Structure 1
Amino acid sequence: MNPKLLFWIPALLRVTFIVIGAAIVWWLFGAVYGLGVGLLAMSTQYYVQLTYLSQLGAWMDDPHSSRLPDGWGAWTNIFSRLYRLRRDDERHQAELTEWLARFRQAMHLLPDGVAIMDDVLFLEWCNPAAERHLGLTLGRDKGMRVTNLVRHPDFIDYIVLGRYEQPLTLSLRDRKLICQIIPFENRRQILVTHDATETDRIEEMRRDFIANASHELRTPLTVIVGFLEIASSGMQIDPASREAHLKLMTEQAHRMQRLIEDMLTLSRLESMDYPLRSEHVDVPALVESIAQEARALSGGKHEITTSVDGPDVMGSTEELRSAFGNLVSNAVRYTPAGGKVHISWTNNGGGPQFAVTDTGIGIEQKHIARLTERFYRVDKSRSRDTQGTGLGLAIVKHVLLRHGGTLTIKSEAGKGSSFIVSLPKK
């Protein structure tokens, strides 16, 4: 039925009933009573309408579905329709609020910075990553022009020229940022920032690794190829020289073999396809085995002692053997003949510790922070003499990362060093 008819028919019926009632009273009791009853009934109707109209006005000031009156007559239908509309609106508003909360949470968790600006570059909103990248504070800088907040000539030129097809690479706050502006809607723009510092560092490490590995492999290959060319040329070589050449080629071949094995070990430790296989590790037996290997490497030139007062642990026996063995072999190689090397396994309040202390040549403080970098050498000539590959401490670092451990280095040039491995309690 037509909604207008649903309104007017009941209204006309109520007026008709009032008129009929007043007419009956008029006929029974006279005109005065009839008119009085009719006026009273119409006044009552008028008062009811004003009351519901007042309630509607009060509800409009704070519209909420739970506070809507029930109504009477035509107002029942009006309030019912308003209730349905308000209920749907509240549901949609709740959904929008939930989606907005999810959006803000997602924006807060994004590693990339996102800043929303209007058409004249006034900041409207930004996520924490944008605050870190650009040095912004949303509560303080909201409503300010971004070019006044980020005072970098390249950034301002990028904004002024409006060439947003290509991103801008920016060095800002000791970080390398890739910035790009994306226009959206009619009067807003999005500034997206990506921190490429770590990517650049990894790329630089990759280039250094390739360069260092190539350099390390070049020397033994040059020696071997040189001697092979002499041998293949038919030149007469006396037995003593031939013996020396063969010995040197064997040494260089073993050096290449050790280098390649260490590189493969590092690659395996860094691979996500090679998860840690935890097992029970008999650390006292492991320490004793490493000490015996150290004594064999020393050849009786050093005093090597051990002290074991710690628990067994869960981890990879082979990986821990590699890490502990690298530390002990380094101590033997870099300690002059007659020096001391002490290996200990203890348990303190923070968890078990493996420590190697020597009376060797020591390390200057400026080198300690970089010792675990691949191919980093304090003294390149001495590293060649000790047959090191330059990857031992890098292997130690990655093994400890997989076991949740840390490496602490204490050293003083000319007085010896201490390498302390701390493992978690569990």
Structure 2
Amino acid sequence: MNPKLLFWVPAALRTALVAAGCALLGWMFGWMTGVVVALLATMVMVFVQLSYLYQLSNWMDDPQSAKLPDGWGAWTNIFSRLYRMRRDDEKNQTELTEWLARFRQAMHLLPDGVVIMDDVLFLEWCNPAAEKHLGLTHERDKGMRVTNLVRNPDFMDYIILGRYEQPLTISFRERKLIVHIIPFENRRQILVTHDATETERIEEMRRDFIANASHELRTPLTVIVGFLEIAASEGLDVATRNSHLKLMTEQGHRMQHLIEDMLTLSRLESVDYPMRPETVDIGRLMEQVASDARALSAGKHEITLQIDGPDIVGSYDELHSAFGNLASNAVRYTPAGGKIALVWREFEAGIKFKVEDTGIGISPEHISRLTERFYRVDKSRSRETQGTGLGLAIVKHVLLRHGGTLQIKSEAGKGSTFIVCLPKSAIVPKQAELLLGQA
């Protein structure tokens, strides 16, 4: 039925019913009585309408579906429609609130920064990543101009020129940031920030690695090629030829060791080569490490071995490579007559393997960088000792795969101590239970 008829027909019927009642009273008790009753009925009807208007006005101040009054007559339909509209609005508002909460949660979890600005660059909202990247605080800086908060000349030029087709890379707060402004709507702009510091660091490490590896390989190749050219162009006596062959063999072995260490390091870093845990016989491992160190020392050092701890679960080959690197470094950097102590011992938090020497020691400024690839404290001495510069980097990655850490204590001229700490969980389970039972 037509909505207009739904309103006017009941209203006309109610009016006709009141008029008929008043006419009947006038016919029965006189026309004056009918007029008075009609006037009173009209006043009551007006009062009811005004009462509902007052209730509607009060409800409009706080429009909640639960507080909507019931109506009479035409007001029943009006309040019913208002109730349905308000219920739909509340449902939509609840859904919108849920979506907004999800949006904010997603924005909070984003690794990239997001800043929402108006058309004159006043801050409206930002996520935690943007606060970290740009030094903003949403509660404190809301309503302030972003250009007053991010003081960087390149960023200011980017804003002023308005060339937002390409992102801008800036150095800000000791970070390398990629910023991009995206206009949306008519009076809004989004500023997106991406922290490229780690990417830049990895790229720099890659460049350094290639440069260092190329340099390390170029030196022995130059020696070998030079001697081959001499041998091809001149008649050499047997002693000179043998001397040259010896040097070329040494340089060839140096390249071989370098390539082996590079392959080992690449394998340790690759997810395609997961560690295969096994029970490691510590007695056999420690004896082999000590034997290799004594062979390298050739009797020039006093090397002692002490084992006071259980077997562990791990990779025998990887641990042999790591422990062997630490022991061989101690031999290489300890003058003849010095002492080297290899100790395997259990302590409260797990297991420690300690390599202590009386060698040349290391200055404090170098200690934090010792596990970097190709980092050397003394490059000339490293070449003399045939080091590849990758030994401690291999140690670090082996320990990462075994849940261990490396501690370095050293003093120039007095020696060094390298301590490998492995967790309690690395102990072979049966031996761990036995130790607990004896305690």
Task: Give the TM-score, by structure 2 length.
Answer: 0.88
Could you tell me which residue of structure 2 aligns to residue 87 of structure 1? Answer: 87
1:376: Cα distance to partner?
0.7
Letter in 1 for 2:108: H
| In 2, Cα distance between equivalents of 1:321 and 1:102 | 51
Deviations, residues 69-128 of structure 1 (Å, cap 9, x unaligned): 343332232222222212221222122222222222222222222222222222222222
Superposition map of 1:123-202 within 5 A: 123-202=123-202
2:4 aligned with 1:10 = no
Query: Are the structure 2 counterparts of residues 77 and 277 from structure 1 closer, same or farther at C-alpha, using a change threshold of 3 Å?
Result: farther
Matches of 2:82 and 2:388 in 1, distance apart?
81
Aligned length: 425
Q: Shift of residue 15 of structure 1?
A: 2.0
The amino acid that maps onto 1:425 is K
Structure 2 equivalent of residue 50 of structure 1: 50
Matches within 5 A, 1:178-257: 178-233=178-233, 235-257=234-256
Match of 2:324 in 1: 325
Q: Deviations over 1:387-423 (max 9, x none)?
A: 1110011111222223332211110011111111223
Q: SS of the counterpart of 1:397?
A: helix
Output the CA distance in 2 between the equivalents of 1:328 and 1:162: 61
2:430 aligns with none
Provide the rounded CA distance (Å) in 2 between the counterparts of 1:167 and 1:378. Answer: 40
User: Equivalent residue of 2:117, what SS?
Assistant: strand
2:354 corresponds to: 355
Partner of 1:298: 297
Match of 1:211, as an amino acid? A
**CA displacement at 1:31 relative to structure 2:** 4.7
Q: Summarize the Cα distance change of 1:315–1:97 in structure 2 as closer, same or farther, 3 Å threshold.
A: farther
Shift of 1:170: 2.0
When residues 52 and 219 of structure 1 are mapped into structure 2, their CA distance, relative to the original with a 3 A threshold, is: same
The separation in 2 between residues aligned to 1:305 and 1:50, in whole angstroms, is 105
Give, in whole Å, the separation in 1 of the partners of 2:402 and 2:123.
45
Q: Compared with structure 1, are the counterparts of its residues 309 and 82 closer, same or farther at alpha carbon in structure 2 (3 Å cutoff)?
A: farther
CA distance in 2: counterparts of 1:331 and 1:322, whole angstroms? 14
Of stretches 361-370 and 115-124 in structure 1, the one that deviates more from structure 2 is 115-124
SS in structure 2 opposite 1:250? helix
Q: Offset of 1:284 from its aligned partner?
A: 4.4
| Counterparts of residues 339-350 of structure 1 (less than 5 Å) | 339-350=338-349
Aligned partner of residue 356 in structure 2, secondary structure: strand
Matches within 5 A, 1:96-111: 96-111=96-111
Q: 1:8 to 1:206 in 2, by over 3 A?
A: same
Aligned residue type for 1:423: L
CA apart distance, 1:27? 4.4
- CA distance, structure 2, for counterparts of residue 314 and residue 86 of structure 1: 67
Per the TM alignment, residue 305 of structure 1 is displaced from its structure 2 partner at its CA by: 2.2
Partner SS for 1:258: helix
Structure 1 residue 36, shift from structure 2 partner: 5.4
Mapping of residues 356-395 of structure 1, within 5 Å: 356-395=355-394
Query: Match of 2:424, SS?
Result: coil
CA distance 1:346–1:23, change in 2 (3 Å): farther
**Distance in structure 2 (CA, Å) of the matches to 1:144 and 1:126:** 12
Distance 1:85 1:297 in 2: 89
Q: 1:402 to 1:42 in 2, by over 3 A?
A: farther
Q: Would the alpha carbon gap of residues 64 and 308 (structure 1) be closer, same or farther in structure 2, given more than 3 Å must change?
A: farther
Decide which moves more: 403-412 or 166-175: 166-175
Q: Which amino acid aligns with 2:366?
A: H
Sort the Cα spacing of 1:50 and 1:224 in 2 relative to 1 into closer, same or farther, 3 A.
same
- 1:304 and 1:245 map into 2 onto residues whose CA distance is 34
Partner letter of residue 105 of structure 1?
Q
Question: C-alpha displacement at 1:39, in angstroms?
Answer: 4.7
Aligned residue in 2 for 1:335: 334
Aligned to 1:420, the other structure's residue is in SS state strand
Closer, same or farther in 2 for the Cα pair 1:277/1:81, shift >3 Å?
A: farther
Which moves more between the two structures, 239-248 or 80-89?
239-248
Which stretches in structure 1 are left out of the alignment for 5+ residues?
A: none
Note closer, same or farther for the CA distance 1:344–1:74 as it changes in structure 2 (3 Å cut). Answer: farther
**More deviation in 265-274 or 354-363?**
265-274
1: CA distance, partners of 2:348 / 2:179: 48
Cα distance, 1:38–1:167 mapped onto 2, change above 3 Å = same
Q: Aligned-pair distance for 1:214? A: 0.8
C-alpha separation in 2, matches of 1:86 and 1:291: 83
**Unpaired runs of at least 5, structure 2:** 426-439
Q: Provide the rounded CA distance (Å) in 2 between the counterparts of 1:291 and 1:9.
A: 108
Q: Counterparts of 1:339 and 1:228 in 2: how far apart (Å)?
A: 39
